[in-house]
Amino acid sequence: MNHFFDRLQEQLNAQKPFVVYRKPNEDVVSAVLQEDAVLHYVKNYQESGFVFAPFDSNSASILIPNKTIITTNYSTDKLLSSTIDNDVSISSTPIEKQDHIALVKKGITAIGNGYLEKVVLSRCITTHTATKPIALFKELLSVYKTAFCYLWYHPKVGMWLGATPEVLLKVTNKRIETSSLAGTQVYEEGKEPVWGEKEYNEQDVVTQFIKKELAEKVTNLKATEVTSVRAGKLWHLRTKITGLMQNNLQDILVALHPTPATCGLPKQEAKEFILKNENYNRSFYTGFLGELNFTKEQFRSKTKKNIENRAYTSLTKVSNLYVNLRCAELTNKTVKVYVGGGITNGSIPEKEWEETVAKSGTMLRIILK
């Protein structure tokens, strides 16, 4: 295990691109290493590698080709950090709070005027940490077992760290699975969440958007009942949606990204409102990232019927893509933590501010430890 992380440190010291990550509820940590500093871009989503896509789909998505992959087992059962029980926040200036509340009010006005149905508005918190990047990633692994945890680096782009609860898209050959995730409540020990009409409506908007966008692109489209899911110190509402892909992967991603959970509705109008009014560059926050067209070996099941054939394997093409939420951008001098929330006609600006404070704790309790 130490050799695995030493290899990553060597990669970082040499200023060579890499990404290290762990999928939710797994112990296997994987890393994709690049042997030079060339900047590779995704052209049509037929490529194979680890994709890192920005919020604004007019900007290029970056690919680390999966030519060199290393893995290790990193069980965190005995490493769970007590920091998960601590409420961590940074004192904001009155101006920061006023600016975000003013932004939320502007969004509510746009909704009230019929220009938007929903818009997701965010802000950036700047802080500092003395902890090294790989140590931060290890702490994420220990604290956020149910999240997709990653550390991504390219010398020509920068370094990002995150623990996201949200699946954008999973593809196994032609079968796809996505999730409608919306609504937020702070987790309280021993208490189940009680959701109001606003949260259910907010989540249903996302579900209906996904179903509509995929209706002509997939067959056998199915959606589960709404359930509560926990992500660290937060609860969310989730619906899983599955189907069989008829179009190519790029068409599916264009239809889904950005989702109402990260942008709003109507999608183009909400995106334009965000780019015009947030007054900062989201960059890769609320973009997506993950395995793109990886080839996996699947072994035959060891039943008596085919025990003589169990050495045979089948090759499966899979993509596992996650929305880049609960993330931070690391530089030599600062850490930028990105947080936001969905604004609807029933939103209360003060509570929307408080929601961003709660969400910021995911990264701050690691960074400020």
Q: What gap in Å lies between CA 72 and CA 56, rounded to an integer? A: 34
- Cα 20 to chain centroid, rounded: 14
Q: What gap in Å lies between CA 133 and CA 331, rounded to an integer? A: 10
Q: What gap in Å lies between CA 181 and CA 174, rounded to an integer? A: 23
Please give the average per-residue pLDDT across 227-253, as a whole number. 89
| Mean confidence (pLDDT) of the chain | 90
Please give the average per-residue pLDDT across 111-134, as a whole number. 95
pLDDT of 247: 73
Please give the average per-residue pLDDT across 131-137, as a whole number. 96
Q: Which CATH number fits domain 2-301+321-367: 3.40.50.1370, 3.90.190.20, 3.60.120.10, 2.40.50.100?
A: 3.60.120.10
pLDDT of 369: 75
Q: What gap in Å lies between CA 37 and CA 42, rounded to an integer? A: 16
Coil/strand/helix, residue 282: coil
Measured torsion, CA atoms of residues 200, 119, 235, 210, in degrees rounded to the nearest 10 = 60
Coil/strand/helix, residue 196: coil
Weakest mean pLDDT among 106-120, 182-196, 265-279, 295-309: 295-309
The C-alpha angle with vertex 311 and arms to 307 and 313, in degrees rounded to 5, equals 115
CB 269 within 8 A of CB 116: yes
pLDDT of 362: 87
DSSP state of 232: T
Distances (CA, A) of 331 to 122, 126, 265, 339: 20, 11, 33, 18
Is the per-residue pLDDT at 107 higher than 60? yes
Instruction: List, for residues 283-312, the tens digit of each pLDDT value.
Output: 999 999 999 999 987 665 655 555 555 556
pLDDT of 300: 59
pLDDT of 186: 84
First to last CA, the chain: 23
Instruction: Point out which residues pair with 40 in neighbouring strands.
Output: 63
CB 330 within 8 A of CB 133: yes
Would you place residue 205 in the very low, low, confident or very high pLDDT band (cuts 50, 70, 90)? Answer: confident
CB 265 within 8 A of CB 118: yes
Is the per-residue pLDDT at 215 higher than 80? yes
pLDDT of 86: 46
Instruction: List, for residues 151-200, the tens digit of each pLDDT value.
Output: 999 999 999 999 998 899 999 999 999 988 888 888 888 899 999 988 89
pLDDT of 80: 42
Please give the average per-residue pLDDT across 253-269, as a whole number. 92
pLDDT of 181: 83
Task: Please give the residue that has the higher pLDDT: either 93 or 201.
Answer: 201
**What's the token pair of residue 93?**
């200036």
pLDDT of 341: 92
Rounded percentage of the chain residues whose pLDDT exceeds 70: 91
Is the per-residue pLDDT at 31 higher than 80? yes
Residue spans per domain, the chain: 2-301+321-367
Instruction: List, for residues 39-79, the tens digit of each pLDDT value.
Output: 999 999 999 999 999 999 899 999 999 999 999 998 765 44
**What's the token pair of residue 69?**
């992959």
Stated length of the chain: 369
